[in-house]
Amino acid sequence: MARFLTDGRIDLKSMTLDELQAELVALGHPRFRAKQVYKWVWQRGVSDFMDMSNIAKDARTQLAEHFSIDFLAPAMRLDSEDGTTKYVWQVADGHHIESVLIPDPGIEGHSKPRMTLCMSSQVGCAMACSFCLTGDLGLTRNLRPAEIINQALQVQASLPEGQRITNLVFMGMGEPLHNLSNLLRALGVLLDEDGLNFSHRKVTVSTVGLVPQMLKLASVTPVNLAVSLNATTEETRAQVMPITRRYGLEDLMRGCREFPLPHAKRITFEYVMMRGFNDTWDDAARLVKLMSGVKSKVNLIPYNENPQREILRPSDEHVKAFQHFLVSRGVQCSVRRTRGIDVSAACGQLGKATQGLRIEEANIEGPTVSLDDAPA
Distance CA 249, CA 257 (A): 12
Catalytic position from the list 125, 129, 132, 347: 347
For 69-210, where are the alpha helices, taking DSSP H only? 145-158, 180-191
142 in Cβ contact with 130 (< 8 Å):
no
C-alpha distances (whole Å) from 124 to each of 26, 187, 214, 268, 310 are 37, 20, 21, 23, 22
Within a 10 A sphere around the Cβ of 215, how many other Cβ atoms?
13
Q: Is 98 a catalytic residue?
A: yes
Catalytic position from the list 98, 147, 175, 270: 98
Collapsed DSSP state (helix, strand, coil) of residue 42: helix
269 in Cβ contact with 291 (< 8 Å):
yes
Specify the DSSP element, H or E, that contains 203. Answer: strand 203-207
Distance CA 185, CA 202 (A): 17
Specify the DSSP element, H or E, that contains 32. Answer: helix 32-42
Q: Is 347 a catalytic residue?
A: yes
Specify the DSSP element, H or E, that contains 336. Answer: none
Catalytic residues: 98, 347
